[in-house]
């Protein structure tokens, strides 16, 4: 029987690579995103809207009758210290990065509990475990994602529902380029030089490509990872091992 996956924020970057990875493995894939992506079945959805996610899951179940995997990928980046982070900025980061995952998991758990199976993969970051400069709100949100993976794993193991987080390192995505462009606009730095410096910060000497993160996500969602739950999995080129 074909398996079914729901990916939030699957229209670009790592999310799109995850959608493509699931499709390669034969899954029916649904992409809950505000904008339509090139792959998978698009469900127009803002993850900050709990009702919209509930409706997305309802539509998926009407079409497929099952849900095997949820990937909470939708997120935004924000660079600033705590002093320079306005409350509205903090609310926006937490609403999308943390409450977006919260809404998605709450929408999917009832279906998975009935089936007594399911895998939830949350997209974390190297900042699930370490800090970086000018990253107060984003770092806070990724530590919350790590916590959500662990607590969900413990609470729902009795239903054979697994939850894990992928702690992705710096990855070349539209989000990455937007962040670099914003930094260069503020500082006057050369983008190519900044890009090279980002690569040098990683022990492997380069930043990740989206599909390298997606491979780990698809594995954790699969039956090959059936005894893995409550874990944080680094895919960061060795950054946090330093």
Catalytic residues: 138
Contact at 8 Å (CB) between 19 and 26? no
- Phi and psi angles of residue 66, each rounded to the nearest 5 degrees, phi first: -160, 160
Report how far residue 82's alpha carbon sits from residue 143's, in angstroms, rounded to the nearest whole number: 16
Q: Is 2 exposed, middle or buried (0-12, 13-18, 19+ CB in 10 A)?
A: exposed
Separation of CA 166 from chain center? 8
- 94 CB-side CA count, 13 A: 12
The dihedrals phi and psi of 30, each to the nearest 5 degrees, come to: -110, 135
Nearest to 137 by CA among 81, 185, 209: 81
Task: Report the distance separating Cα 231 and Cα 217, nearest Å.
Answer: 12
CA distance 177 to 194: 11
Burial string for 57-82 (b: 16+ CB within 10 Å, else e) reads beebeeebebbbbbbbbbbbbbbbee
In the structure encoding, which two tokens stand for residue 138, read together? Answer: 């984003």
């Amino acid at each position: 029987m074909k398996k079914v996956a729901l990916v939030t924020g699957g229209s670009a970057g790592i999310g799109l690579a995850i959608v493509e990875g699931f499709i390669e493995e034969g899954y029916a894939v649904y992409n809950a995103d505000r904008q339509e992506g090139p792959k998978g079945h698009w469900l127009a959805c803002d993850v900050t809207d709990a009702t919209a996610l509930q409706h997305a899951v309802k539509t998926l179940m009407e079409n497929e009758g099952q849900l095997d995997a949820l990937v909470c990928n939708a997120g935004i980046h924000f660079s600033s210290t705590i002093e320079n982070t306005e409350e509205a900025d903090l609310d926006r980061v937490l609403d999308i990065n943390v409450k977006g995952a919260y809404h998605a998991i709450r929408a999917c758990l009832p279906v998975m509990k009935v089936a007594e199976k399911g895998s939830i993969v949350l997209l974390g970051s190297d900042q699930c475990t370490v800090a970086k400069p000018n990253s107060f709100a984003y770092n806070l949100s990724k530590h919350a994602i790590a916590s959500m993976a662990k607590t969900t794993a413990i609470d729902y193991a009795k239903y054979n529902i697994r939850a894990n987080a992928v702690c992705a390192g710096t990855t070349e995505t539209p989000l990455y380029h937007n962040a670099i462009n914003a930094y260069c606009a503020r500082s006057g730095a050369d983008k190519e030089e900044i890009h090279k410096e980002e690569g040098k910060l990683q022990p492997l000497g380069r930043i990740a490509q989206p599909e390298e993160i997606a491979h780990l996500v698809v594995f954790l969602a699969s039956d090959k990872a059936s005894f893995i739950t409550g874990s944080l999995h680094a895919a960061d080129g060795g950054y946090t091992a330093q």
